[in-house]
Amino acid sequence: MRDFYDVVIVGSGAAGLSCALKLDPGYRVCLISKGAMEEANSYLAQGGISAKLADENLDDYIEDTLKAGHYENDVDVVRTILDRSLDVVNDLIGYGVNFDKLDPDTYSLHKEGGHRSARVYHVGDFTGRSMCEVMAERVKARPNIDTCENTVLYDLIIEDNKAVGIRVFVDGLYRNIYARAVVLATGGIGGIFNSSTNYKSVSGEALSIAMKYGVEVSNLEYIQIHPTVLYDKAMGRHSLITEALRGEGGILLGINGDRFVDELLPRDVVSKAIRKKMEEDQTDHVYLSLENIYDRERIDERFPTVFQACMDKGIDIRKDMIPVCPGQHYHMGGIKAKLDGRTSLPGLYAIGETSCTGLHGRNRLASNSLLEACFCGMKCGEGLNASLPDFKAHMEENRETGNIDDIIADYQKILVDTIKERNHDFYEYWLKNEDA
């Protein structure tokens, strides 16, 4: 790890990796991760990455995205990203991502909730991991990129109203890393919840740090609850039960065996229906039945991630129903950013779930997250190639003496308090946590 880089990227998920791979190989780049590189939510993404079909009217895909977002999306942003979605997929294929195929010339596409067509590219039910592993291998092979794991961001360095670096905690020491551009790609906020599909370490500190410096943010109270999370009484990260299972015929049943909702409605609608059903039946879960899924006896081969997660709980999805309940999954809000990552603070960029571009509105359409992460990561890298900020700052050693755990806890409290203020009902039902 050096004291100075052209670009420092905080986050090792799809957004951060996509950005790193687009940067000029002549730049000195540092990509840091809070834990291991694979401890990013992108690695957990099961469903896939959505893209406009070659023969599809773009307006259909736009309408699906707008409807899911309750028409609070930025229409121009939606149109731009969706119009370029197949280019993103082709870039990933060029990197070496092997999306599933029906035959040598035809990709196997899933249909997911809120989509009128099957337009989701996937690799089994571990698409995010496959994409990130391919990109991470390429990043690690580039001699101009330093990858630094177990490195905790805890502050920005600001001079003359410009981001000129970051402050980190690594190997028991506090350090300053200066850079011509700082890119935040730290993911969502699931770590502040008792129950979430996110890694516990993904807890929104970058967002709180940006707020501390008055960086413009947007839609912080818009938090997605996924309808189908594997039911578990224990707190912590819970396994996602991919939407693709419902796309292939899985149905939701109450404890009395009654079907109560159209399973392929947008996620927030289905989550509310499940919540209502649980309250009516006075239970803490419902069931996902796979009885109508084609070739169910081979479902362990087609959905190995879900199969293993369920088997670990003694549930054999080849014959058993899956107990599920809604759980925190995604943050539509974040640091307000342009499509190339630019924020209201010069020198600071935000991409992926850390950012809010306006693509998602109030609720995200399934499998648009990996699309946004990769699109904006690529655009950010291309933008920095065209215009890398000048660097002018007084470089000094880090003199922090506080406890890193206390510093991070304070940032998390800022975020929890902000959500409580903006959406008290959501806080009471989903987030209330005495230890937060």
Q: What is the pLDDT of residue 253?
A: 97
| Residue 431 pLDDT > 90 | no
Q: What is the pLDDT of residue 427?
A: 84
Q: What is the mean pLDDT of the chain?
A: 94
Q: Could you tell me which of 366, 307, 359, 356 has the C-alpha nearest to residue 334?
A: 356
Contacts of 166 (CB under 8 A, 6+ apart): 8, 10, 153, 155, 156, 157, 176, 177, 179, 182
Please confirm, yes or no, whether 267 is among the known catalytic residues.
yes
Q: What is the pLDDT of residue 432?
A: 65
Top-confidence range, 350-354, 415-419, 432-436: 350-354
225 contacts 28 by C-beta, under 8 angstroms = no
Percent of the chain with pLDDT over 90: 85
Q: How confident is the model at residue 243 (pLDDT cuts 50, 70, 90)?
A: confident
| Residue 414 pLDDT > 90 | yes
| Residue 235 pLDDT > 80 | no
| Residue 323 pLDDT > 90 | yes
Q: What is the pLDDT of residue 194?
A: 81
Q: How confident is the model at residue 234 (pLDDT cuts 50, 70, 90)?
A: confident
Q: Rounding to the nearest 10 degrees, give the CA dihedral for residues 384, 389, 391, 397.
A: -60
At residue 369's C-alpha, the angle toward residues 364 and 370, to 5°, is 160
Q: What is the pLDDT of residue 434?
A: 39
Q: Give pLDDT tens digits for 118-153.
A: 999 999 989 999 999 999 999 999 999 999 999 999
Q: State the CATH class of domain 226-327.
A: alpha beta
Each domain of the chain, given as residue ranges in start order, spans 4-222+332-425, 226-327
Percent of the chain with pLDDT over 70: 98
Average pLDDT over residues 416-422: 92
Task: Work out whether strand 355-356 and strand 334-336 pair parallel, antiparallel, or are unpaired.
Answer: parallel
239 compared with 183, residue with greater pLDDT = 183
Q: How confident is the model at residue 426 (pLDDT cuts 50, 70, 90)?
A: confident
CA atoms within 13 A on the CB side of 313: 19
Structural fold of domain 4-222+332-425: FAD/NAD(P)-binding domain (3.50.50)
Distance, CA of 330 to CA of 189 (rounded, Å): 8
Residue with tokens 């039902």: 429
Catalytic residue among 167, 246, 267, 342: 267
- Return the structure tokens found at 119: 């337009």
Q: What is the pLDDT of residue 121?
A: 97
End-to-end alpha carbon distance in the chain: 32
